[in-house]
Structure 1
C-alpha cells in the first residue's frame, strides 16, 4: 500500500477475470502482488449496473479482507454509481469519449456539457470522473482529452492517461504526461504496436494493433516511470492487462507487474 517510501499503488483492471467469484478474485489479485483493482460495472461482471448500490459496497468489504482496494470503476456516470462508489470508498469512475456518428467536434461539445453537468455529483459524493483516451472512434490522445478539461476543476474531473493509446497516436510519453499533468488522476500501463496484416501484393495496406507485454511495445515504460518520479507523482498505476494473447494473461500480468515495480519503485 502507499507509504512515504513508495508513493505508488498498483491496480489491476480485472475485465479479463470476470468469471472469478469475488473471493477467488481477491485471492488472485492479492497473490499476484497488486494493491487493488479497477472493477468494471457491467452486465455479466462481479458488479452489475442494476445492483451496483448493494453489490459494490459488498465486494469492497470482501476485497478489503484481503487488503485489496477498489481504486476505480469502469462504469456509467449514473447517480446510482456515484452513490455506490461513495459508500464503497471508490474514488474514481473511469469513462471514455466515443465519437459515435455525429463527428468529433459534436462529440467534444456534448462531452464538455456532460462533464459540466456531472460536477455537482462529483462534489456531492466526493467521487472524481476520470476520462481516458483510446484509439479508434474515441478521443485518442492527451491533447484531445485536455480540451475537455478546460475550465473544469481537477478536484472533480481528471484524466486517466493511457500509455499505449498515447503511443498509438504518436505522442512521446513525456509530452503526453506534461499535457495532462494538471488533471492527472491515474496512470494506465499497457503496451502494443502496429503491424501490417496483409501482404505487399494487396492493393491497399491494412494495419492492426497487437497488444503485448510491457517491455515490447511502442509505449516506453522506463521513460514513463522516470517522468512521473521526477514530478513526484503519488497515486495509482493501473495495469490494464490488455493482451492480444489472452490465454497467457495470468503469466503476462505477473511479469508486467514485476517489471513495473522495478521501474517505479527503484
Structure 2
C-alpha cells in the first residue's frame, strides 16, 4: 500500500472513531440555565446557593434591587459575600435584576460594584407610557434613555437587558416599540430579555414572528407560563399554560448556544419555609419540562 493512501485511510479511521465516540457521549452546551430567585430572597446566601445548585442550575438571575436579596445601597458591602457563596457551589450571578432605568450616579455605582464581582449582565427596571399623551414622543424619550445606558454599559463593560412585560401601558409590551428603540444600539451593550410568557399573553398567535423579528436584539430568554382563567392571566407550571413548547426549538434555531435561559417560578402562594420548599420543588419540575423543550 502506498504511504499516501495509507495515511488517507488512517485519517478516515480516526475521524470515524471520533464521530462514533461523540455519538456515544451526551451533547454539551455552554447555555447558562438560571433560576430567577425573586421568591427566595429571604434565604441566607449559603443556603440559597446550596439548594439552587442541587437542582441542576448553572447560575442565578438574582434581584439586587429594593426588596431584593440586597438593597442597592448595600451592594458594595454585601454583593461580594453573595457572589462568594454562589462560587462555593460552582454557581454564578449571571443576571443581576435591578431597578435601573437611567444612566445616573446611583446606577453607575451599582454597576461598577457588579463588574468588580465578575457580573456581566443586568436587567433594567420598567418604563411606562402615559396613555393620556401621544406615544411617539414618549418612545423617543425611551430611546434616548436606552442610548445613554448603552453608552454607560459599554464604558463599564457590562450588558443591559430589557424584559418585555405584559401590560397596556408597559414599554416593550407589544415588543415592536422596544425593537424600534433599540434599532441603533449594539446588543453587546443593551438588548432584549425575551419573556415567552409575556410575549404569549400579548400576542398569542404572533409570539413567533415577534421573536424572529426581535432575534438580532435578544440576549437572554425567560421561561415561565400563564393560563387564562376567565379574563385573568394566571401564572402556572411550565407546560400547563399557553406558552408553546415549540419555543425551545426556536431558541436553538435563532440564538447562540451561550444565550442565558432563565426559569421564572412565581405561582407558589403562601409564605415562609413552606413556600420556599414548594418553590424549590416547582423549580425542579419546571426545569425538567424546560429540558424537554430545550434539550442540551
1:7 Cα offset (Å): 3.2
1:42 Cα offset (Å): 2.1
Greater Rg by CA:
2
User: Residue 210 of structure 2 is aligned with which of 151, 160, 176?
Assistant: 176
The answer as to 2:270 corresponding to 1:237 is no
Match of 1:98 in 2: 127
Match of 1:210 in 2: 234
Distance 1:47 1:223, change over 3 A: same
What's the Cα RMSD here? Answer: 2.0
Distance 1:177 1:100, change over 3 A: closer
TM value normalised by structure 2: 0.79
Contact 2:61–2:262 under 8 Å retained in 1: yes
Match of 1:33 in 2: 56
Distance 1:265 1:5, change over 3 A: same
**Equivalent residue pairs, number:** 253
Whichever structure has more helix as a proportion of its residues is 2
The answer as to 2:151 corresponding to 1:120 is yes
Structure 2: gaps spanning 5 or more residues: 1-25, 101-106
Superposed structure 1 runs of 4+ greater than 3 Å apart: 100-107, 244-248
Contact 1:195–1:209 under 8 Å retained in 2: yes
Distance 1:150 1:258, change over 3 A: same
1:106 Cα offset (Å): 4.4
Match of 1:201 in 2: none
**Superposed CA offset, 1:201-260 (max 9, x none):** xxxxxx21110011111111x211111212353221100112164643222211000111
Contact 2:66–2:99 under 8 Å retained in 1: no
**Superposed CA offset, 1:114-163 (max 9, x none):** 11111222112111110111111312133222122111111211000000
Whichever structure has more strand as a proportion of its residues is 1
1:67 Cα offset (Å): 0.5
